[in-house]
Amino acid sequence: MAAEDQPLGTLEELPQSYRDELRKLNLVPLWPSLRSLLPPKVPARQTSPTYWPYQSIKPLLMQAGDLTPIEKAERRVLVLANPGHGLEKMQASSAIYLGMQLLLPGEWAPSHRHTPNAVRMVVEGEGAWTTVDGERCQMSRGDLILTPTGLWHEHGHDGSDPVIWLDVLDLPLAHYLEVSYHLNGDRQNTKQSQGNRAYARAGVVPTPVFGRSGRRYPMLRYPWTDARAALQSLAEDQPDLEAVQVTYINPETGEDAENILGFHALMLRPGQTLTLPARSPAAVYHAIEGAARVAAGGQGFDLRSADTCCIPGYCATTLANLSGSEPAFLFVADESPLHRKLGVYEIRADEQPSMPSQS
């Protein structure tokens, strides 16, 4: 019998008087809990594969628009909560928070800043904007807007129809670390610059002749038209490339756009089925255009436009385009920057454990 299969002593085997004495002194014996803290080969995960269809969310979000004025909500959001963690925890995975936010024409969600990092993936509607650090970022379908840790941000809406977007935050991690808090501010003065225009093309960046910009987050808006064009260009240039995927990065450093969560756009060619190896981070898939089946952990979800699902870490995942004639475009958020920084990032090409230190 391998050592890891040896049954260990239980709490019940210990005399009650001994247990009581330990409790009084805030002491706990390790061995009854050792296997659940350090399970064999694969971590225990509370994150369960979960699917949120947009067509079910939208009417309830619109109802929230009637029930709760923006002044009473500040952020009018329905949280996409993973039942594996318990709905009250309001988390999609251990580090990812997801919310669907509604802003009605003329509404304003006042300026604040907070320790968690956030991004917005615009789902529908035109005319809304998020001002981040003084830069007004227009919001159109598929655009990714960063509101990184500590930067002031507020949302407004000059259009005529409701605008809805998906919020992705590392709030569960910040909350767990006991570093989550916010500050309220005044309406921001806007600058001339607009979040993406200085970095409009890949491969060239502004040259700071008169000193560096010195900004940790130089690019705040990633238009969908550009990300989509990059994917199509990549797919055409490399017809044999299996995973047609781009990562949203900081164009000055080449590093992930934010510190903790990673953001990607992935294109499935017409009829394509793509199997991604099991990797340690949990991942969120959100359909920007087209329809795809996401299968992992014995479950499968058909994502149609604006549907979202969450897949726990350490699960091989198969993505299948449900159309034989149109590409499908997915937005992917995952915990990979966090795992890499912590040294726990792992790919299991053959589903076998491979501790990071061995590779």
Instruction: Identify whether the C-beta of residue 348 lies closer than 8 Å to the C-beta of residue 281.
Output: no
Instruction: Identify whether the C-beta of residue 320 lies closer than 8 Å to the C-beta of residue 330.
Output: no
Residue closer to ligand GTQ, measured from CB, 154 or 226? 154
**Looking at the DSSP assignment, which residues form a beta bridge with residue 244?**
267
CB of 190 to ligand GTQ, least distance (A): 17
Does position 308 interact with ligand GTQ (CB under 6 A)? The reply is no
Site string for ligand GTQ, 111-130 (x = CB under 6 A): ---x---x------------
Residue closer to ligand GTQ, measured from CB, 114 or 264? 114
Q: Which of 57, 70, 77, 151 binds ligand GTQ (CB under 6 A)?
A: 77
SS3 at position 99: strand
Dihedral (Cα; 219, 225, 228, 230), 10-degree rounding: -60
CB of 182 to ligand GTQ, least distance (A): 7
Residue closer to ligand GTQ, measured from CB, 82 or 101? 101
Q: Rounded to an integer, what distance in angstroms lies between the CA atom of residue 260 and that of residue 338?
A: 5
DSSP letter at 269 equals P
Closest Cα to residue 156, out of 212, 209, 108?
Answer: 108
Residue closer to ligand GTQ, measured from CB, 99 or 327? 99
Site string for ligand GTQ, 213-252 (x = CB under 6 A): ----------------------------------------
Does position 101 interact with ligand GTQ (CB under 6 A)? The reply is yes
Q: HSE of 236 in the Cβ direction (CA atoms, 13 Å)? A: 6
Instruction: Identify whether the C-beta of residue 88 lies closer than 8 Å to the C-beta of residue 172.
Output: no
Residue closer to ligand GTQ, measured from CB, 185 or 208? 185
CB of 103 to ligand GTQ, least distance (A): 9
CB of 77 to ligand GTQ, least distance (A): 4
- For every residue of 7-68, DSSP letters joined together read ----STTS-HHHHHHHHHTT---SGGGHHHHS-SSS-------EEE-HHHHHHHHHHHHHHS
List the interface residues with ligand GTQ, window 140-169 (CB under 6 A): 153, 167, 169
Residues that bind ligand GTQ (rule: CB under 6 A) add up to a total of: 9
Does position 99 interact with ligand GTQ (CB under 6 A)? The reply is yes
Q: Which residues bind ligand GTQ (CB under 6 A)?
A: 75, 77, 99, 101, 114, 118, 153, 167, 169
